[in-house]
A and B are shown apart, each in its own frame.
Chain A
Amino acid sequence: MITHLRQHITALEAPQLSSRIAAARSIKNAVVGNPTNKRLFISNGVIQPLITAASHDSPELAEQAISAIGSLASFLPPLPVEQLAPPILRCLFSEDIRPVNAAARALKLIVCSDAIDINEFVPAFTTPDVARRLVELISYNDDGIPEVCAVVLSRICVSVEEATVFEQVNAITALVQILCRTNHERCIEACLSALSALSRNNSAISRQLTCTHGLVNVVMPLTHSTTPSLRLTACQILTIFHSDGFLPSGLDSAVVTALVNLLDETLPQMQITAAFTLSDLVGHSPELQSVATKNKAVSKLITIFYDNMPQDDEQSDEVDMVDVSFPSQAKHEYRVDACASALTALAALTRNIDASRVALVEEDALPRIIVALQEDNDDIVLAAVQCVRSLSRSVKIVRRDIADDQIGVTLLHLLSSSNVAIRRSASAALCNLVLEFSPIRTSILENGGICILTGLLSSVDDELRENALWALKNILFKADSETKTAVMNQLGYTNLQALCTDTHLRIRELAMMIVRNLACSGSTESQREELDALFAATGNKLISILSEALRVDTESSKLAVQALYVVCNIASGTEEHKASLIDSDIPGLILKWTSHKDEGARIAAVWCAINLSWKDRRTPSQPSLHRQRLPRCVLRPQHLPAPSSPFSRRVLERSDRSYGGVNAIMTEQRDSSPETEMDVEHENVLMISAAPEPHHLRTHTRGASSARRRGPAPKSSGYQWRIERLRELGFEVRLRSLTNDPHIEVQGRARAALEFFDCGDVNPLDYSPSALLEYDSPSVLPPQSSRALSHSIVHRVLASDSSSGGST
């Protein structure tokens, strides 16, 4: 055989052309489809003589030689593109159609081969000349060559850059024309794949295809084709149209249904592509997630996930499941991909709605997901982390189902993964799992969570820093002094100050939220201590940091809103705390924010005014009952003094109840939207801290030095002095004009603040009930106003999600 083979190779350089053609044909026939012979011929040095032969002027010889090269080059070991490109291009541009056809086929084999790195081939075959030639061949009046060239295009068009080159040589028109002309499914499929490759990440082309060429109406019927691969290809391009916003609503759910049905296909490659496409399609749409869930996508995906978990590989009794044309070494990769694709799709399905999360948990998939978290393969781990992240966005699931301490420990471990996407997703999942109601919060903290998260702050990746700060912020939410001390021992006040003045605005905002949570206590009594500790640790820096944050002049008011609530929290402290604010330039800055266009900023600023002008009449030794319940009744009109009269008591009770109602609504929102969830948690902090606190100093357990700060109140302090200062700055005038603010929340707060300016030493019964009633009437807890209030925060959180959601 070997001698035979050498003879063929030698004959490639024979003097007579006919012998050379015969030799090239024999080699082609020996190697096509035959891995054994491919190996033999390559190891006997057939490539170079073939390349020479392929460059010959004889079309017959070139045709045979290039066919052989294509068959060999798609096989291991890959040949360098510098060797392959010249003969292929020479044949592709030949005037005789035979070598052209052969070259196109060879190219198709090569670019579809798993053995090559497509990126190496892209530059040589996407020059304008080659692109023009391929488009010319796509328009060839036949179906074979156009199909082959469309497949080539779909493979070598790997980014917007190549898409632009092809667009400029009218590839789109050519492909659309053939799509409308041909009846042949293979050809239609190839054209759709090529158009998908062109329009991916290129909404201008999507627009052109849908708006100019009306492709949606052409492709939609194909989702009902009897050929599964054609259905899948149709769904892929429709998914691209959907993500670019060019798929009319109503049609999108039909695409979801078609994709979910494709999950039943037995070909692994089909399942994988269908699962990935499904996750692209539903990932950002709760409605489509719901459609997919109703079509039983969750259990289908779980089946794919279970069937392909790498551990099951040994008991590979499912030969029939896998197409026989896949060699067994490829099978393992298919299993890994299938597993990762199923988990990725599950993560997308559970991203925003509880129905799918519950379905996932009820199928008892969580233990297997935990196993997947510990896999060796990064793709599987990442997909599993994303699943946990999606599940962790539901309060119900976090509270009830994510109870295995192993999850927290594994996620912490994954924070040191070498894969940044895994680190990002794991840190995002931890954000939710450290919330106070999470059963695994304790185990995360006990396993060094604070230290590991703080370590992430020195990362160069902004998203990781953001997630770490977010998680620390959530750890500090309603935290006790011990936890705060533990966090600050790791984080350090100097570091926190630096983060508050970071160049990255989002980091500053999150750092400010941490300050805000530090400046707030879950219980009324310890509020002072927290503030003292904060002042002791930061000194005058705190005021200057706040002042700087309030001076930042950007389109977004996010950072300022956080800073305003820190001010609010400080202003709920002692006269000393209030005085340190009044003495600074902060009141002037607050005044500026009362007229900001964002109502969230105006509300926060008016809250500051309320707390700064607050007059407390209660004695610290008699904390009233309602005060102990303060965190729950934060929306109660805080300007209302102790509930001494039956009337005011009734009002308080009402507002307490109402707040309970709102709380329920908020919980529901949290369930449906994770980010909102964080948000609402946050808002809770905000409300608590916004509530003016009675003077109630107690020795705190953290930072001994803070006690020293407490001295006699400055001379120029006290209620009258504060009111005077605020009035000088123009607060009273401004607050009056805010009583006509378009936003009802702002109006109500402004009236509340004005009571302190108006009524001086008023006693509760003097206090005009009309303002109170208005405040307390249905519009007080007014779903719309509380919603509007939360809206701004929701807005912020959602915006932050999109910035941090890159990994999802």
Chain B
Amino acid sequence: MQPISFSLITTIQPPPRMSNEEKKTVFTEDEWEAQLADMPVNKSEMNKLIMNYLVIEGYKEAAEKFQQECGTPPGIDLPSISDRMATRVAIQRGDVQSAIERANDLNPLILDENPQLFFHLQQQKLIELIRNGDIEAALAFAEKELAPRGEENPQFLTELERTMALLAFEDKSKCPVADLLEPAQRQKTASELNAAILTSQCQEKEPKLPSLLKMLLWTQEQLKEKAQFPEMDIEKAILRSSKPSS
């Protein structure tokens, strides 16, 4: 399992002004532990939270194991996770068509109801053709598949023009739109498709656990203004003992 990213920690603003240290309520470690122990947290709720993370992030095997161990239902057809992951992998290796087909097998409404996503997948196809140097095929594809969408919507047209600019440069690295050939572009398209698949499965686009942890850290920062208590160190999964104010 990948570690949870806590990049947000650095973005948390320190409290604007520190109140008088003397006025802070001080909790000893024991007091704090007792308070924590008093707070009933339902085990099955915790399990659901973890399952939600595994399912949405696409850890199919972990989810299967977890289900076997604690019996928490995944709330979703587990094979659909691997389908979803397969679409991501397909786009990341440049096989957009197979990603489209997998998405359609999952649910044809995903692309029929999202013209913008469909356009981005077609655009990604065009990028792959250009990357492979298949200029004739790229031109034909742009004319047949992308130009009509651009006519229907001016915003698509801008994006199409930007993509076509790739053709104008022999040395793609000098092209002002070279970013389209970066892995990040594939990543972006893959994420858009992943989010749409999740929505179609009535799943959240993001797991709940990271935002819960973010909220925990924010709350601790708020509380530090008013009290001294053993802070939770999430990375080490320990309580940092509260130091008496000096």
Residues on A facing B (Cβ under 8 Å): 1, 25, 28-29, 32-36, 67, 70-71, 74, 102, 105, 108-109, 143-144, 147-148, 182, 184, 186-187, 319, 324-329
CB atoms of B153 and A324 under 8 A apart: yes
- Within 8 Å CB of A74, what residues of B? 112
CB atoms of A324 and B112 under 8 A apart: no
CB atoms of B153 and A147 under 8 A apart: no
Most buried by A among B111, B115, B145, B149: B115
**How near does chain B come to A227, taking the closest CB pair, in angstroms?**
11
Within 8 Å by CB of A35, from B107, B108, B148, B204, lies B148
- Within 8 Å CB of A28, what residues of B? 104, 108
> CB of B61 within 8 A of chain A?
no
**How near does chain A come to B145, taking the closest CB pair, in angstroms?**
6
> CB of B21 within 8 A of chain A?
no
- Within 8 Å CB of A147, what residues of B? 202
Given A186-B199, A328-B154, CB of A33 within 8 Å of CB of B114: yes
Known: A109-B113, A143-B202, A328-B153. 8 other contacts (CB 8 A): A1-B144, A32-B104, A71-B108, A74-B112, A144-B201, A184-B202, A325-B114, A329-B152
> CB of B200 within 8 A of chain A?
yes
In terms of DSSP, what is the predominant structure of the interface of chain A? helix
CB atoms of A325 and B104 under 8 A apart: no
Within 8 Å by CB of B200, from A36, A71, A144, lies A144
Question: Considering the chains assembled together, what is the distance between the CA atoms of A325 and B114 in angstroms?
Answer: 7
Most buried by B among A29, A35, A102: A29
**How near does chain A come to B158, taking the closest CB pair, in angstroms?**
9
Look across to chain A and name the residue whose beta carbon is closest to the beta carbon of B111: A33
Binary flags per residue of B141-175, CB closer than 8 Å to A gives 1, else 0? 00011001101111110000000000000000000
Question: Considering the chains assembled together, what is the distance between the CA atoms of A67 and B112 in angstroms?
Answer: 11
Within 8 Å by CB of A29, from B104, B144, B152, lies B104
Binary flags per residue of B86-116, CB closer than 8 Å to A gives 1, else 0? 0000000000000011001101110111111
Within 8 Å by CB of A33, from B105, B115, B204, lies B115
Look across to chain A and name the residue whose beta carbon is closest to the beta carbon of B100: A29
Q: Which 8 residue pairs across A and B have the least CB separation, nearest first? A: A33-B111, A33-B118, A143-B202, A184-B202, A327-B152, A324-B155, A67-B108, A325-B115
> CB of B82 within 8 A of chain A?
no
**How near does chain B come to A799, taking the closest CB pair, in angstroms?**
48
Within 8 Å by CB of B112, from A36, A71, A328, lies A71
Look across to chain B and name the residue whose beta carbon is closest to the beta carbon of A37: B145
> CB of B203 within 8 A of chain A?
yes
**How near does chain B come to A568, taking the closest CB pair, in angstroms?**
69
CB atoms of B148 and A144 under 8 A apart: no
Number of residue pairs spanning A and B whose beta carbons lie under 8 angstroms apart: 77
Within 8 Å by CB of A32, from B111, B149, B152, lies B111
**How near does chain B come to A324, taking the closest CB pair, in angstroms?**
4
Question: Considering the chains assembled together, what is the distance between the CA atoms of A325 and B200 in angstroms?
Answer: 17
Most buried by B among A33, A182, A319: A33
Look across to chain A and name the residue whose beta carbon is closest to the beta carbon of B109: A105
**How near does chain B come to A179, taking the closest CB pair, in angstroms?**
13
Q: Please name 27 pairs of A and B residues whose Cβ atoms are closer than 8 Å in the assembled complex, sorted by A.
A: A28-B104, A28-B108, A29-B100, A29-B101, A33-B114, A33-B117, A34-B145, A36-B144, A36-B145, A67-B104, A70-B108, A70-B112, A71-B108, A71-B112, A105-B107, A108-B109, A109-B108, A143-B202, A144-B200, A144-B201, A147-B202, A319-B155, A324-B116, A327-B115, A327-B153, A328-B152, A328-B153
Chain B residues with a Cβ closer than 8 Å to the other chain, count: 31
- Within 8 Å CB of A148, what residues of B? 109
CB atoms of A109 and B200 under 8 A apart: no
Question: Considering the chains assembled together, what is the distance between the CA atoms of A28 and B111 in angstroms?
Answer: 11
CB atoms of B115 and A184 under 8 A apart: no
CB atoms of A187 and B154 under 8 A apart: no
- Within 8 Å CB of A186, what residues of B? 199, 202
- Within 8 Å CB of A328, what residues of B? 151-154
CB atoms of A109 and B154 under 8 A apart: no
- Within 8 Å CB of B107, what residues of A? 105, 144
Question: Considering the chains assembled together, what is the distance between the CA atoms of A455 and B197 in angstroms?
Answer: 62
- Within 8 Å CB of B201, what residues of A? 143-144
- Within 8 Å CB of B100, what residues of A? 29, 32
**How near does chain A come to B73, taking the closest CB pair, in angstroms?**
10
Look across to chain A and name the residue whose beta carbon is closest to the beta carbon of B107: A105
Question: Considering the chains assembled together, what is the distance between the CA atoms of A35 and B113 in angstroms?
Answer: 12
Binary flags per residue of B1-41, CB closer than 8 Å to A gives 1, else 0? 00000000000000000000000000000000000000000
Question: Considering the chains assembled together, what is the distance between the CA atoms of A329 and B151 in angstroms?
Answer: 10
Most buried by A among B104, B112, B155: B112
- Within 8 Å CB of A32, what residues of B? 100, 104, 108, 111-112
CB atoms of B145 and A319 under 8 A apart: no
**How near does chain A come to B95, taking the closest CB pair, in angstroms?**
13
Binary flags per residue of B197-226, CB closer than 8 Å to A gives 1, else 0? 001111110000000000000000000000
Given A33-B112, A325-B116, CB of A144 within 8 Å of CB of B202: yes
